[in-house]
Amino acid sequence: MPTRPVLLTKSCVLSAVRKRFLWCTLPPEPDLRTPGALSAEGSKSVTATEKRSTAKQPGDSIQGVLFLTAGYGTRAEPLSLYRPKALLPWGETTLLGKLVNQFKVIEPEVIACNATKCPELVYREVRRYWPGKIRMLFEEKPLGLPGTLSANAEMFKGHWVISNTDMVLDIPVREMVEFHLSTGSEWTVLTGSFPDYGKYGSLPVNGNSRHYLGVSIVSPKVVRIARIEQLSTGFFTLLRSAAEKAGIFINEYFTSADWLDMGSFHLIRKHLLMNGSYIHPSAHVHRDANLEGLYWIGSSCIISSGAVIRNSVMLDGAVLLPGASLVDDVVPWFVKRG
């Protein structure tokens, strides 16, 4: 039987700082069948030799998924001072939880997360939806994506998906992976049309000006270039330039799916309220409180007597004290306003 998941204690985090990574995994189920014997369903069990011959090779599948949860998060301050944006709520889950649910369909060998703030909470959220191997890459200070690849180059033995975690998007996961592998691409990016809000830089791909949707698939060759060049920044500038000199060019998979930016303070409020008002069942709203316009009230929130909330968001555990007013704002996790 699998052992219980490892809980990241303070000593674990300190160890992660020293080692730059931490394995958290469930051991595989023991194979109790005798080679050549019949299973209960009458099918022949697979021998060790047969397993080796039918195992996925590094080039014909996705080895892992890397979720980018580290970073300074300056666009989302003050929310990002408390927790990474990946842990923002979305429906009955979080941004990270939604992404894990989407990418687990490709059955990667491992899911990895780089983390600066709250690595234990990031790990716990991934574990809610993923029973397999988890690798935490703790960064005392954000390394930048090329820096993360370079520092952990030994991990990238096959093709990896790399995903931002500050957006909401119905990602065509299977289709993008199939496209990447079938075309023999070394670097594929997910692109789409520019949203009708905000100003975003364009990504030139195959003669087109595209909006990058935050998901890439890279081969070990791209990671080796980051390691050789000792890059820490410039995923689409310095690393791309070095890759092109080595004969590696970016390919794109275009989707028309809607992309919601959850990376800035005002867009977080806008997009959480876009589906209407919401009150978590565990929240307590005093009968004399005034709820006006749209509002999003998370778990264990408290809205006291005489308090007013209008077109605002209260993240889990937030408290609105008696007589307080909250208008066009977002209260971070477990913060009191009065």
pLDDT at 199: 86
Average pLDDT per 10 consecutive residues for the chain, totaling 338 residues: 45 41 38 32 37 46 96 89 95 96 97 96 98 97 96 97 97 97 97 91 92 98 96 95 97 96 95 96 97 97 98 97 97 95
pLDDT at 107: 96
Residue 196 Cα distances to 113, 199, 212, 267, angstroms? 30, 9, 14, 13
pLDDT at 73: 87
**CATH architecture for residues 10-25+58-261:** Alpha-Beta Complex (3.90)
Determine how β-strand 208-218 pairs with β-strand 187-192: antiparallel
pLDDT at 60: 65
CA–CA gap between residue 198 and residue 163 (Å, rounded): 21
Residue 122 Cα distances to 128, 173, 193, 336, angstroms? 10, 22, 30, 24
pLDDT at 164: 98
CA–CA gap between residue 304 and residue 290 (Å, rounded): 10
Which residues lie closer than 8 Å to 266 by C-beta, 6 or more apart? none
Q: Where are the domains of the chain?
A: 10-25+58-261, 277-337
Query: Which H helix or E strand runs over 67?
Result: strand 62-68
| Vertex 122: Cα angle to 145 and 173 (nearest 5) | 65
